[in-house]
């Protein structure tokens, strides 16, 4: 049971839910089943009995002999080590329902007949695996984009707070005397970024330049530098919102 649980944990249920039911069943069955390569003697004996049952199921008049069963079991374990008894049963169900087209046994439960059915099932499994991987990669990409957006939302206000404090300390030293055009443009971009986070939304373009508006804000802060920085932090944390900019 622990082995089955370990295999099941590999698949993501949310991805399986987006697949066709027939394909998700193939994925789960392959993931949870004990493979032929893992079979011990007891498992091989059960496989031989299963082959007898399947031969009756497909309408053979005579079941394989004991020696033939031993060779068939050996053939399956060597030629299809990643296959399982559960998948073998499912493959025969599909074959008998006509999903694989015409596969005749000609009253001979031969390795060729078994191989055709298993290969037909494996073709379906290959398609299911490909579709699963595509959906899984899509989910990983969506998760990455979501995490990136969440990171920005959670950290944008922190970055704005840091930059606003740096801008305030710059203003304290320069009083915005003789600002270069590049600096004016940087202030404009910064205020627009802040507005995208619900800060400085009362900016009046007819009354103030961007640097003039920011200067007005700095002048409203406490004269003590430490208290001014506390006020900046309080402003950002109280009025800033995690909006998508």
Token pair for 229: 């920085």
How many Å apart are CA 59 and CA 107, to the nearest integer?
A: 8
Model confidence at 145: pLDDT above 90: no
The C-alpha angle 75, 81, 84, rounded to 5 degrees, equals 95
pLDDT, position 144: 80
- Mean residue pLDDT of the chain comes to 89
Per-residue pLDDT band for 152 (boundaries 50, 70, 90) equals low
Phi and psi of 224, rounded to 5°?
A: -70, 125
Rg (CA), the chain: 35
Of the ranges 160-164, 209-213, 240-244, which one carries the lowest mean pLDDT score?
Answer: 240-244
pLDDT, position 5: 42
Of the ranges 9-18, 65-74, 96-105, which one carries the lowest mean pLDDT score?
Answer: 9-18
Please write the tens of the pLDDT for every residue from 24-78: 999 999 999 999 999 999 999 999 999 999 999 999 988 899 999 999 999 999 9
How many Å apart are CA 132 and CA 12, to the nearest integer?
A: 9
Please write the tens of the pLDDT for every residue from 101-139: 989 888 899 999 999 999 999 999 999 999 999 999 998
pLDDT, position 68: 94
Model confidence at 202: pLDDT above 60: yes
Of the ranges 6-15, 178-187, 194-203, 233-242, which one carries the lowest mean pLDDT score?
Answer: 6-15
pTM of the model: 0.60
Phi and psi of 35, rounded to 5°?
A: -80, 155
Cα 13 off chain centre by: 11
């Amino acid at each position: 049971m622990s082995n089955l649980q370990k295999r099941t944990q590999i698949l993501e249920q949310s991805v399986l839910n987006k697949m066709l039911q027939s394909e998700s069943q193939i994925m789960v069955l392959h993931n949870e089943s004990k493979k032929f390569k893992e079979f011990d003697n007891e498992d091989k004996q059960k496989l031989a009995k299963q082959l007898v049952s399947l031969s009756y199921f497909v309408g053979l008049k005579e079941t394989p002999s004991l020696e033939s069963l031993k060779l068939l079991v050996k053939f399956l374990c060597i030629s299809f080590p990643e296959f399982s008894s559960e998948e073998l049963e499912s493959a025969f169900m599909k074959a008998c329902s006509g999903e694989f087209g015409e596969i005749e046994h000609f009253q001979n439960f031969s390795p060729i007949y078994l191989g055709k059915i298993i290969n037909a099932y494996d073709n379906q499994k290959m398609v299911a695996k490909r579709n699963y991987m595509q959906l899984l990669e899509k989910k990983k990409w969506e998760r990455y984009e979501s995490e990136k957006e969440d990171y920005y939302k959670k950290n944008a206000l922190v970055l704005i707070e840091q930059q606003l404090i740096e801008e305030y300390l710059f203003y304290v030293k320069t009083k915005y005397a003789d600002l270069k055009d590049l600096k004016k443009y940087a202030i404009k971009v910064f205020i627009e970024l802040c507005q995208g986070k619900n800060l400085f939304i009362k900016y009046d373009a007819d009354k103030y330049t961007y640097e003039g508006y920011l200067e007005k804000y700095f002048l409203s802060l406490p004269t003590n530098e430490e208290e001014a920085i506390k006020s900046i932090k309080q402003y950002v944390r109280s009025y800033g919102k995690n909006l998508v900019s």
